[in-house]
Amino acid sequence: MPLASAKRPVLPVGSGRALVTGGAGFIGSHLVERLLADRWTVVVVDDFSTGQRSWLPDDDRLIVFEGDIRDAALIGRAIDGCSVVYHLAAVVGVRRVVADPLRAIQVIVDGTERVLEAALAARARVVLASSSEVYGLSDALPFAPDGPRLLGSTRVPRWAYATAKALDEHLLFAYRERGLEGVVLRYFNTYGPRQDAAGYAGVVATFCDAVVRGKPLEIHGDGRQTRCFLYVDDNVDATYRAGLVPEADGEILNLGSTEEVSILELGRLVAEAAGVPFDPRFVPYQDVFGDHFEDPPRRIPDIAASERVLGFRPTTPLHDGIARTLAWAAERHAAARS
């Protein structure tokens, strides 16, 4: 893929050393591959709580630290010599956050502060992976980076994730006042090979996993809630650029597709791609997430700033991305059986 076109900012020439926290995870491991392909030396910090060692390539230019991002001494060692930090480590997925909100808050908030402190000292730029969750239940569509956010009650554990990610963003801007360079990326439902099939962020992964196992597709609620799905390669291309393009410093950028798809339609597309009948099983939210649960009915990103600053343009059509994710799920299922 060309790094620059007429509308895409040209990246600085040359590569260096980059730290990827959460580099063994779904998006992180694709980013690590991208950095290595562009001849970066890559340092990964991951506790392998959801990430997999086997997703990391065997490469002399890859250095792996197994540990917790809340360990300041570990982050201090890992960041040495890095000019950019892609901070992706977090407790991810509504199901996981609802199951243990305290751990999620501590990892997301304390972990990010350790990373920001270390980056300020090392004079490294931070690319912070935030989330469309921070917009909450806002109906000011499409969601603009500086637009309103509407979060529900603090009794609803789901909002712990949104609040913690928003606090991470505040922390990044507070550290910028002390001289840090940094950019916030709000990811909207990214999907593709290696995504964890357990959890709500990964509904494409969950559906692909179900069809390759011959299980029915479970739709939470009535399935009319919509999302905009971004293929992982498109996400990684923009995330990578955010670490390098000078104009990204200080920005909040949405990374998502603008193609709005209902969960029901998504299920239909996955079943069609797999060549199986679409026979969904509807499950009330309460049965999955308990009594206190709220779900944004629609989510569409405003990507004007990402286009302008990064030259961001999603290029993978949903049916291609589904086909690739399905092929990966089928391969994994076959490997597990043999």
Structure tokens at 123: 């004079």
Distances (CA, A) of 70 to 18, 42, 115, 172, 212: 19, 20, 8, 16, 37
Listed residue (213, 218, 295) closest to 264, CA to CA: 218
Nearer to ligand NAD by Cβ, of 54 and 338: the residue is: 54
Distances (CA, A) of 309 to 57, 111, 124, 180, 312: 30, 28, 20, 19, 8
CB of 45 to ligand NAD, least distance (A): 6
Q: Which residues on adjacent β-strands are paired with residue 228?
A: 260
Q: Which three-class secondary structure state does DSSP give residue 252?
A: strand
Binding site for ligand NAD (CB under 6 A): 22, 24-28, 45-51, 68-69, 88-92, 107, 111, 129, 131, 187, 189-190, 196, 201
How far is residue 77's CA from residue 74's CA, in Å, rounded to a whole number? 5
Q: Which three-class secondary structure state does DSSP give residue 217?
A: coil
How far is residue 249's CA from residue 255's CA, in Å, rounded to a whole number? 16
Nearer to ligand NAD by Cβ, of 276 and 305: the residue is: 305
Nearer to ligand NAD by Cβ, of 50 and 206: the residue is: 50
Nearer to ligand NAD by Cβ, of 210 and 255: the residue is: 255
Q: Which amino acid is at 130?
A: S
CB of 181 to ligand NAD, least distance (A): 19
Distances (CA, A) of 279 to 115, 181, 217: 46, 50, 7
Nearer to ligand NAD by Cβ, of 41 and 106: the residue is: 106
Query: What is the Cα 149 distance to its own chain's centre?
Result: 19
Q: Verify whether residue 231 is a known catalytic residue.
A: no
Q: Which three-class secondary structure state does DSSP give residue 263?
A: helix
CB of 189 to ligand NAD, least distance (A): 5
String of DSSP letters for 157-196: THHHHHHHHHHHHHHHHHHHHTT--EEEEEE--EE-TT--
CB of 4 to ligand NAD, least distance (A): 26
Beta-carbon count within 10 A of 117 CB: 18
CB of 204 to ligand NAD, least distance (A): 9
How far is residue 293's CA from residue 282's CA, in Å, rounded to a whole number? 16
CB of 272 to ligand NAD, least distance (A): 22
Single out the catalytic residue among 135, 161, 231, 240: 161
Q: Which three-class secondary structure state does DSSP give residue 231?
A: strand
Nearer to ligand NAD by Cβ, of 24 and 219: the residue is: 24
CB of 197 to ligand NAD, least distance (A): 11
Nearer to ligand NAD by Cβ, of 101 and 216: the residue is: 101
Active site residues: 161
